[in-house]
Structure 1
Amino acid sequence: MWNIKEEDLDKFRITCQGRLSPEGATGFMLGTIFYISIFMFIIFVGDLNYYNNFFDRTIVKTEIVLFSIQIIFLIIYLFPKACFKFQKLQTLIVLLYAFQLGTILFVVSIDSEMADNSIGRMYTGLLVVGAVIIHIAATLDTFKQASEGAFSSDERSTSFFSKTKGAVIKGAIIYINTTSSDVFSK
């Protein structure tokens, strides 16, 4: 991939010091479960029979399975020894929590009356796809910057936000503003 040296990541080390340590990740999990529980309550109150087509039912069942997996891992990681014993697995679990945190609102809006027409569903789906694309572009750009020494503590250091990330973020903001006003005004 890229030739990234450890000395090129000094600013990452300073920024990440203390963030999402094994104990801190449990706090993130608790907060995420609390937030997601609100939306899962809405889904459960709506009852599974409310979702009348295969697409909606599949999405809701997937969210319920992911939520159940999150609860199980939260219980496991409440024990301090498990936090350190399964640190590598915890990284993937935190990604699962972050994914669920970012998608649950879209799922509820698709499956509720907020986006009951096909245009609203399409825009909401495109927002999710766009978020995935922006995430991938930002990650690749960050790796490229790191390989060039942008996060080192010497004179090569630059801002985290490159021109690529700036252009992608501006485009995303314009898209979100135009589509959200179209979708939710109907």
Structure 2
Amino acid sequence: MESAKLYYQDGSPFSRLCRTLIIDWELPVETIELDWPLNESIFKENPLGQVPTLKTIGETIFPTSQITEQLLAMTFEPLAPYFDPLADRQLLITILSMGDAMIASNAIDRSGLKQTEKNTYGIDILNRNEMRVNHTLAWLEGQCDKWLIDDRVSVCDYALACLLLWSDSRSPFNWRQYTKITRIVEELSYSDSFAQTVPNPWVPQD
């Protein structure tokens, strides 16, 4: 039987989340790296033109939150990181949405799309995204015990770590002011699955 395939891009924190889950859940999923910038052919697989994208028998699955649930369904027994989709979905989607704001701001900055005309929208998008990130991190810090959910590492912890480690290499900011979050991220950064998925340094595109 043909194995499932995860299409990913090296610098994508959302891809990294899925790759760490495949490693730690010991799943028979082939990971296929795509070059950056993504070729327009990706739209044939994913109408959003994004990775990660998971292909299973007769089905193509996206976005990231849905892929995590599909990967969980492929496990044979509960393994860390733990994940209860019904209980944890809101927290996971909140973290992933924070990541969308982080990456959108980075894209605006690196693609040279900073404001050049009068702002008639009513808010500064970059400033609002920064507020989203900081308010979400402060809220998450308040949620923390040892981990984000009780005393067991979860997919939500992995998602948060992937995003904040991405920010260090792509769009740095001071997330280490949050001491509980810092402990979570630093502990996970030394794990085998995170060590295997460290992204290459960013190379500016001509």
Question: For the pair shown, which has the larger CA radius of gyration, 1 or 2?
Answer: 1
Same-fold call, TM cutoff 0.5: no
TM-score of the two chains, using structure 1 as the length reference: 0.35
- Higher RCO (CA-CA < 8 Å; seq separation 6+): 1
Higher percent of residues as strand: 2
TM-score of the two chains, using structure 2 as the length reference: 0.33
Higher percent of residues as helix: 1
